[in-house]
Amino acid sequence: MKDSQAGFSLIELLVVVAIILIVAAIAIPNLMRARMSANESSAAQSIRTINTAEMSYFNTYPQTGFATLGALGGAQPCTPAIATGCFLDNFLANASVAPGKDGYTFTIIAPSLSGYTSLANPVGLNTSGSRSFCSDQTGVIYSLAGALGCTPATGVPLQ
């Protein structure tokens, strides 16, 4: 009488594990690239939102000029004032430190009566994004590939 074997042999299990590892090795880099692309799209849109908020703030408080990032937001329930413009949600208005928003930190450099520069830097270059974004009072959004610290003078306009 011959005993029948139940279950899988070690070779069969190793083949299945090897196939899973090959599929994972192919899929994970694609997933990371897709995530970086989504983070970059979100950062560009956030810069666009900051531009709109800056123009609204400037038109509402012309004697003050352009605002810092924190002054564009405000905790809910937000009451509009010079220190809390209520033009941005508070999450974006406070995204100046890591982890920021969607892998990017946002800052506004030198707001004044005549202009401002908004900046979005990836928290981890080539992990959360491979480009930094910036804009100024003109409303044009620029990107700088492979480096932090985009400026309108060094960046390439987005199309």
Mean pLDDT value across residues 22-40: 91
Task: Provide the pLDDT confidence category of residue 124 given band limits of 50, 70 and 90.
Answer: confident
> Which of left, alpha, beta for 23 (phi over 0: left; psi -120 to 50: alpha)?
alpha
- In this predicted structure, the answer to whether residue 50 has a pLDDT above a threshold of 90 is yes
- In this predicted structure, the answer to whether residue 13 has a pLDDT above a threshold of 60 is yes
pLDDT (tens digit, 9 = 90+) per residue, 35-46?
A: 999 999 999 999
Give the position of tokens 């070779």: 11
* Closest listed residue to residue 135, CA positions, set 77, 33, 80, 53: 53
At 47, list the tokens: 């810069």
Lowest mean pLDDT among 4-18, 46-60, 136-150: 4-18
130 with 36: CB under 8 angstroms?
A: yes
Position 2 scores a pLDDT of 60
pLDDT (tens digit, 9 = 90+) per residue, 70-113?
A: 999 988 898 999 999 999 998 999 888 878 899 999 999 989 99
**Pairwise CA distance, residues 41 & 33, whole Å:** 12
Mean of pLDDT over the chain: 91
**Pairwise CA distance, residues 81 & 140, whole Å:** 27
**Pairwise CA distance, residues 70 & 65, whole Å:** 14
Record the pTM: 0.83
Parse the chain into domains and list their residue ranges: 10-48+93-157
